[in-house]
Structure 1
Amino acid sequence: MKILRTPDARFANLPDFAFTPHYCEVTDPGGTALRIHYLNEGPPSAGPVLLMHGEPSWSFLYRRIVASLAARGHRAVAPDLVGFGRSDKPADQSDYTYERHVRWMSDWLAAARLSSITLFCQDWGGLIGLRLVAAFPERFARVVVANTGLPTGEGFSEGFQRWLEFSQSTPVLPIGQILAMGCRRSLSEAEQAAYEAPFPDESFKAGARRFPALVPITPAHGSVAENKAAWKVLEGFTKPFLTAFSDSDPITKGGERLFQDRVPGTKGQKHVTITDAGHFLQEDKPDEIAGLIHEFIASTK
């Protein structure tokens, strides 16, 4: 497995991102060592809030939420998935599978020794993060899901179909523009450039290219059986479970109902819709999300 590593200079002077990088090394079952980057802000003794990003973003997506949670006394932990941000990037699309992503982040979670976790997950952060909940339910105290799902081969939205076709056909994957199009507010040129920072050229984008094709939207896709098994665990998950989907996401709109119908921990929770927010609701409403997480923890201790 050939590994690419984005030069540190690409991450200098990013807006609102003066965080100290932290790294953890995991070993792929094939024997390749992979360095995973994560943010770790706030009191070390506080219960961790695990913030998991999706496609094609990285922990920069959570910069304002991390700062706000840390200021409120929480420990905010935001990893970069393998292939994204400051984490290592396997060079070939074939190196990326759903199950490898789950294995890489499972090993990272164990190495980071996180427990009593509050998970906030969006997009692929949910597809992977909810698999972690299913694999290690004892490590998680509560969950917030936003604009995500755990598909088991039963179809997809028109919005996702358009995204899949575009991502697999465009010769240049415009990461910054993709983030901008998925927000209701206008991202500055500096913010769009920050989303491009992990990818010096197209060779670094194999993970971003591959992700849409890995979503198990048909019975023939990989990981359908594994996701069905994860749902069985979630259907017995009684710890607090909150939905906070946005009102303007064409890809996941309405997805909160599936969690509310199937996860017992959702019962009695004050589920919210984040208004005037697109797919990347962390960019549109970071203060509201940080406040929501803070109140959710306070009300469910």
Structure 2
Amino acid sequence: MEIPVPSVMKQKPAWLRELFPWEQKTLRVNGRNMAYLDEGSRGARPVLLLHGNPTWGFLYRDFLDPLVKAGYRAVVPDWIGSGYSDHPRVDAALTLAHHIADLVSLIDQLDLRGFVIVGQDWGGPQGVGAALQRLDRLAALVLMNTWLYTDYVGKFHQSPLPWTTWHAPLIGQLLMKRFKVLSHAGPSAITRRGMTDAQKRGYHHVFDEPDSDHVVLTWPRTIPLREGDRGWADMTMIQRRLPELARTPTLLLWAPEDAVFPIEYANRLKELMPHAEGPILFERASHFLQDDRGPDLVAAIIPFLNSAAGNRV
């Protein structure tokens, strides 16, 4: 298979290069540009590092060098609508099914074989959803503060504030798009370790352009809470097919202080995937545990991958 030659993304701002020095690349996926990092030997096992809302590849900056030094290939996409990927202004272009199809396209175009999915938040269902379309190429899974099912709904997703307020037709648009309560105050608002101004800006600047953050509102509105909701059929399909992953080495890493996906979500995943190792708990971390405890997380991931799959394909 001929591997496409990716073009290089526009130059990152100078202030970001010290925090995020890796070369941003891009491929066309389903008619849109998906930005990604691709570090390490092409012959090494690919590890797909998948973020959620409202972050981008910057979330995994502590993972790249350790994985590459351990002999792995780190591939870090920005989901369409986020980071340095295209930011469609059409809500219907940012569904769960679209994100899954976009990742399948990236996997196919880069001809990734024996790959590992590392997913948190939306990186879980979108990553596993894509992996289920390419099971013959999947080597292992690492899941962190995420979910893959419709039969458990925690307190956060039933709460009037902030959850149902975000979904309100008028006030949700006002909060998310005018005041940018998530895109400009997500990771920095709940950090456990604290962030410098530059780190806060690193997360938020990709949504500085007006009307560039449709995905930040679409993702919450795509979480299926009842039959008929957007994303219900896709998530039901993922849950139904989880038994097909019974022979796939799986590791659960969890921040129990996360209000969005607390430990009950890990317990339900463990029931559905009893072969999974863990959950290994990481205190002093919240929803964005990769930022709070990045070096510790990757230090747990590498031995698991060495044992479960090895760093060569």
- Does TM, normalized by the shorter one, top 0.5? yes
Residue by residue, what CA displacement relative to the aligned partner does 1:126-165 show, whole Å, maximum 9, x if unpaired? 1201111222222211101101002326534326743434
Aligned partner of 2:206 in structure 1 is 198
Aligned partner of 1:173 in structure 2 is 180
Separation in structure 2 between the aligned mates of residue 270 and residue 92 of structure 1, nearest angstrom: 39
Aligned partner of 1:209 in structure 2 is 217
Aligned partner of 1:131 in structure 2 is 129
Describe the shift of the 1:180–1:156 C-alpha distance in structure 2 as closer, same or farther (beyond 3 A). same
Q: Which amino acid aligns with 2:102?
A: W
Residue 20 in 1 paired to residue 27 in 2? no
1:147 to 145, 148, 152: 145
1:88 to 86, 111, 136: 86
Residue 245 in 1 paired to residue 254 in 2? yes
Check whether the contact 1:246–1:279 (CA below 8 A) recurs between aligned residues: yes
- Give the length in aligned residue pairs: 288
Separation in structure 2 between the aligned mates of residue 146 and residue 275 of structure 1, nearest angstrom: 13
| 1:230 to partner: Cα distance | 1.8
Structure 1 residue runs without a partner (length 5+): 1-6, 28-32
Mean CA deviation greater in 102-111 or 166-175: 166-175
Structure 2 residue runs without a partner (length 5+): 1-8, 167-171
Check whether the contact 1:154–1:219 (CA below 8 A) recurs between aligned residues: no
Check whether the contact 2:185–2:204 (CA below 8 A) recurs between aligned residues: no
Separation in structure 2 between the aligned mates of residue 59 and residue 284 of structure 1, nearest angstrom: 15
Mean CA deviation greater in 291-300 or 94-103: 94-103
Describe the shift of the 1:84–1:12 C-alpha distance in structure 2 as closer, same or farther (beyond 3 A). farther
2:230 to 207, 222, 242: 222
Q: Which amino acid aligns with 1:193?
A: R
Separation in structure 2 between the aligned mates of residue 64 and residue 244 of structure 1, nearest angstrom: 16
Check whether the contact 2:266–2:279 (CA below 8 A) recurs between aligned residues: no
Residue by residue, what CA displacement relative to the aligned partner does 1:263-301 show, whole Å, maximum 9, x if unpaired? 2431xx353111211100000111111111111011213
Check whether the contact 1:242–1:270 (CA below 8 A) recurs between aligned residues: yes
Q: Which amino acid aligns with 2:269?
A: F
Separation in structure 2 between the aligned mates of residue 250 and residue 42 of structure 1, nearest angstrom: 35
Match runs of 1:58-97 below 5 Å: 58-97=56-95
Describe the shift of the 1:12–1:84 C-alpha distance in structure 2 as closer, same or farther (beyond 3 A). farther
Instruction: Report the TM-score when normalising by structure 2.
Output: 0.86
Aligned residue for 1:197, secondary structure, equals: helix
Separation in structure 2 between the aligned mates of residue 42 and residue 78 of structure 1, nearest angstrom: 12
Residue 262 in 1 paired to residue 262 in 2? no
Mean CA deviation greater in 273-282 or 127-136: 127-136
Check whether the contact 1:10–1:198 (CA below 8 A) recurs between aligned residues: no
Aligned residue for 1:198, secondary structure, equals: helix
Separation in structure 2 between the aligned mates of residue 177 and residue 34 of structure 1, nearest angstrom: 27
Residue by residue, what CA displacement relative to the aligned partner does 1:204-255 show, whole Å, maximum 9, x if unpaired? 1111121110111221212322322222321231211111011210111121
Aligned residue for 1:8, secondary structure, equals: coil
Separation in structure 1 between the aligned mates of residue 53 and residue 83 of structure 2, nearest angstrom: 11
Describe the shift of the 1:65–1:235 C-alpha distance in structure 2 as closer, same or farther (beyond 3 A). same
Separation in structure 2 between the aligned mates of residue 152 and residue 45 of structure 1, nearest angstrom: 38
Check whether the contact 2:184–2:207 (CA below 8 A) recurs between aligned residues: no
Aligned residue for 2:92, secondary structure, equals: helix
Separation in structure 2 between the aligned mates of residue 86 and residue 125 of structure 1, nearest angstrom: 17
Separation in structure 2 between the aligned mates of residue 284 and residue 190 of structure 1, nearest angstrom: 16
Check whether the contact 2:119–2:146 (CA below 8 A) recurs between aligned residues: yes
Aligned partner of 1:235 in structure 2 is 243
